[in-house]
Each structure stands twice: as C-alpha cells, then as structure tokens.
Amino acid sequence: MKAVILAAGVASRLRPLTNNTPKCLLKVGNKSILERTIDNLVKNNITEIVVVTGYLKEMIEEFLIQNYPKLKFSFVFNEKYDSTNNIYSLWLAKTEMLGYEMLLMDSDIIFDSRIIGQLISSKYENNLALRTDKNLGEEEIKCLLNEDGSIKEIGKLINPKEAVGESIGIEKFSKELVSRLYTIMDRKILDENAVNIFYEAAFQVAMNGGEKIFPIDVKEYKCMEIDTIDDFETASSIVELMQ
C-alpha cells in the first residue's frame, strides 16, 4: 500500500498565514499539519508516500526529506496548482499509484491516527472515513447510502438533511479500483478537460458503474479539515485529544 497526499493548493482562505508557508506546514499545537499526517502514517506502518505538491513545493520537499530520512517519498509537481482542483493533482500521481493499494489523503486534515487503522482493518476493500456526528452544511462533502450500506452518492450538492455524514478526506482503495479510477480520470481530464472539479466526481462515476465503496464511521475519533482562520484556531484546541 502507498499513501498519496495532495498538497498542491494555495489555501487563499488562510491568508495571511499562508502568504509564505504552504497550508500543510502550518503548526497546529507543537507540530505542523503535515508532520501530524506523516506521523499517523508511520504509526500504521505505511512508509511509501507520494506527495503531490504545487504552491511553495520546495518547502514541503525539504521538510519531509530532512525530518523523515528513512521514509520513501516520491514527489509529483502540479505546475497548474493555482488553476486546477484536487482531481488533477490525484491524476498526476497515476504513474506512482497504478498497481498499488491506495490510501488517499488530503493534506489539510488533522485526525486521530486510529482512523487509518479503521480503514486498513475494515472487511471492505474500498472504503472512506465518514463523520456522522457533525451538523452538516453546504460546504461539506456529503454521502447518501444504498440499502446494502455502500455509498450511493457523494458530493457537496447533497441535501444536508438527507446525508448520513461527511467524508473527511481519507480513503482506502484496492489496486483494482485504483486502476478503474485512473481510467475515469483520464477521460475526465484528457477528453473533457474537467480539471477543476473534486476527485469525488471520479468516485461517483465508478459507483454508478457498479463499484462498491463503503463508509467507515470515525465519529469516536477526533478529526477536522482546516480551511479558514476560524478552523485553524479551533484545531489548536483539539489536537491534544488525538493519538
């Protein structure tokens, strides 16, 4: 299994904090967001990590190489980081990820390390971390379920009152589904030029075609996405409750 961390974005909503620092290197408590993520991967014995960079990429690469010399990093540069969305960054990692199980992670989440353990130990080959304990709004990536418990729909446009929870941005996929997703992303990006959408759009196409992705409820563990200054301030108050 390889982990892929998407860390290309500018994070304009966090300015001025991100004027000279990529979002993932902002410190929450005594560690940066990225450091917390890497430590969580190491706790779960994941040592091969692909990082898709963009904005201030040199700072990210230097931090990881200096602080984690025993880990195997591959860096992929999204030169269009300021005009594309995360589906494009994930697509750029195709060569690195084909043939491997994938643990897909956004780089702006702080979370308890046991969430990764939940996904890895699940009986389902393909799953994603879902929070069911949060009041949902328009901004969250939300999910609806099929009768068998698998995900039926995923996206921001789902009615919050109908959704079962929020996808937090951590997914685990089999190598077979990874191959299927890259076939879908090839079509979306190369044929449709859909470079400015969320990667969940590819999940939706795969599920519409019969693939099964199951939610893993992580409500007993702390986690949150950091998008705004308010998020950043809130995160500092909960990191001590995480493992």
CATH ID of 2-241, from 3.40.50.2300, 3.40.50.10420, 3.90.1300.10, 3.90.550.10: 3.90.550.10
Residues 6+ apart with CB under 8 A from 173: 101, 102, 104, 125, 126, 181, 213
Instruction: Convert the pLDDT of each residue in 7-47 to its tens digit.
Output: 999 988 888 878 999 999 999 988 999 999 999 999 999 99
Q: Which of 56, 51, 46, 38 shows the shortest CA–CA distance to 92?
A: 51
Rounded Cα distance between 100 and 119, Å, is 16
Reported in sequence order, the residue ranges of 69-200 that DSSP labels E, i.e. its strands, are 72-77, 102-106, 109-111, 127-131, 142-145, 151-155, 165-173
Show Cβ contacts of residue 132 under 8 Å, excluding neighbours closer than 6 positions.
164, 165, 217, 219
Q: What is the mean pLDDT of the chain?
A: 93
pTM of the model: 0.94
Domain ranges of the chain: 2-241
Which pLDDT score is estimated for 21? 93
Query: What are the beta bridge partners of residue 50?
Result: 4, 74
C-alpha closest to that of 1 among 51, 41, 38: 41
Cα within 13 Å of Cα(132), Cβ side: 10
> Which residue, among 237, 205, 206, has the nearest Cα to 224 in the 3D structure?
237
pLDDT digit string, tens, across residues 51-82? 999 999 999 999 999 999 999 999 999 999 99
